[in-house]
């Protein structure tokens, strides 16, 4: 079975802290994604990466950065956490090719609360 | 504009009462339409991929169908354990990186 594992299910951080969310996948997927999910807004793409050390901004990158030093690991960094970054964060991975088996698989999510 | 719209936003069914969820899309050159199930507080779970109009996929009480403009998720004789949010997504046609464009989901509640 495909496995996407996020390092924490729940996190509580203080305003101004630097926060690291880690994600690991075991399917040798080229693509990895970070989304946030908020009630009424759906899933919004923060950043994605299609190769090691490659990254592209998604729809809402402000206040976030990412790191992909190894193919299986994709980290989301909140440089200085703010209360409006309280949300559910979801990591996903998929292949880069076209055709069959291009679906994305998600981790279990990290519920981050910034106080 | 490329987008995905799901309806209804919420649906309440009695156990055994069949119904359908809708996902309409406006993207050029569809490369895949995906259905996911999401339970509260968890990540989305992949259900189906549809690639071309006329295609159908089934899994237990769920059947997904695809036309050139929309997809339906048919739920036959649902049970309370089918209660979840169902998400629809398509590949973003811009670029070849397989980014997904998601709808906002349909919250399904099946009452015993």
Q: What angle do CA A55, A57, A58 make, to 5 degrees?
A: 125
Specify the pLDDT at position B98. Answer: 81
For residue B70, pLDDT over 70 is answered with yes
Specify the pLDDT at position B23. Answer: 98
Provide the number of CB pairs (under 8 Å) joining chain A to chain B.
65
Looking at domain B3-111, its CATH superfamily turns out to be Immunoglobulins (2.60.40.10)
A42:B49 CB<8 A: no
A105:B100 CB<8 A: no
Specify the pLDDT at position B28. Answer: 82
Q: Please indicate if any CB of chain A lies within 8 Å of the CB of B105.
A: yes
Specify the pLDDT at position A102. Answer: 84
Contact status, residue A33 vs residue B95, Cβ threshold 8 Å = no
For domain A4-93+107-114, the question of CATH label 2.60.40.10 is answered with yes
- % of chain B at pLDDT higher than 70: 99
Specify the pLDDT at position B103. Answer: 94
Distance between CA B30 and CA A84 in Å, rounded? 34
Q: What is the pLDDT of residues B10-58, one digit of tens each?
A: 999 999 999 999 999 998 888 899 999 999 999 999 999 999 999 999 9
For residue B75, pLDDT over 70 is answered with yes
| Domain boundary assignment for chain B | 3-111
Distance between CA B59 and CA B77 in Å, rounded? 13
Q: Which of B46, B98, B103 sits opposite A95 (nearest CB)?
A: B98
Contact status, residue B75 vs residue B19, Cβ threshold 8 Å = yes
A65 pLDDT tier (thresholds 50, 70, 90): very high
Q: Please indicate if any CB of chain A lies within 8 Å of the CB of B49.
A: yes
The DSSP secondary structure of A60-98, one letter per residue, reads --TTEEEEEEETTEEEEEESS--GGG-EEEEEEEE-SSS
Quick one: average pLDDT of B84-110? 90
CA atoms within 13 A on the CB side of A55: 20
B98:A100 CB<8 A: no
A2 pLDDT tier (thresholds 50, 70, 90): low
Report the residue of chain B nearest A30, measured CA to CA. Answer: B97
Q: What does pLDDT average to over chain A?
A: 94
Q: What is the pLDDT of residues A67-115, one digit of tens each?
A: 999 999 999 999 999 999 999 999 999 988 777 778 999 999 999 999 9
Contact status, residue A90 vs residue A74, Cβ threshold 8 Å = no
């Amino acid at each position: 079975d495909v496995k996407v594992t996020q390092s924490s299910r729940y996190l509580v951080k203080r305003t101004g802290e630097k926060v690291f969310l880690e994600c690991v996948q075991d399917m040798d997927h080229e693509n990895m994604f970070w989304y946030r999910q908020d009630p009424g807004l759906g899933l919004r793409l923060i950043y994605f990466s299609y190769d090691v050390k490659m990254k592209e901004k998604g729809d809402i990158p402000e206040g976030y950065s990412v790191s992909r030093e190894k193919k299986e690991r994709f980290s989301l960094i909140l440089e200085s956490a703010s209360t409006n970054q309280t949300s559910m964060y979801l990591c996903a991975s998929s292949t880069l090719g076209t055709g069959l088996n291009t679906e994305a698989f998600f981790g279990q999510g990290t519920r981050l609360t910034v106080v | 504009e490329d987008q995905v719209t799901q309806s209804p936003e919420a649906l309440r069914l009695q156990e055994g009462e069949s119904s359908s969820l809708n996902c309409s899309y406006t993207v050029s050159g569809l490369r895949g339409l995906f259905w996911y199930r999401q339970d509260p507080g968890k990540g989305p779970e992949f259900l189906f991929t549809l690639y071309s109009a006329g295609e159908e996929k089934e899994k237990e009480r769920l059947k997904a169908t695809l036309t050139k403009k929309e997809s339906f998720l048919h739920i036959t004789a649902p049970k309370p354990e089918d209660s979840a949010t169902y998400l629809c997504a398509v590949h973003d046609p811009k670029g070849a990186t397989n980014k997904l464009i998601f709808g906002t989901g349909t919250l399904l509640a099946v009452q015993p």
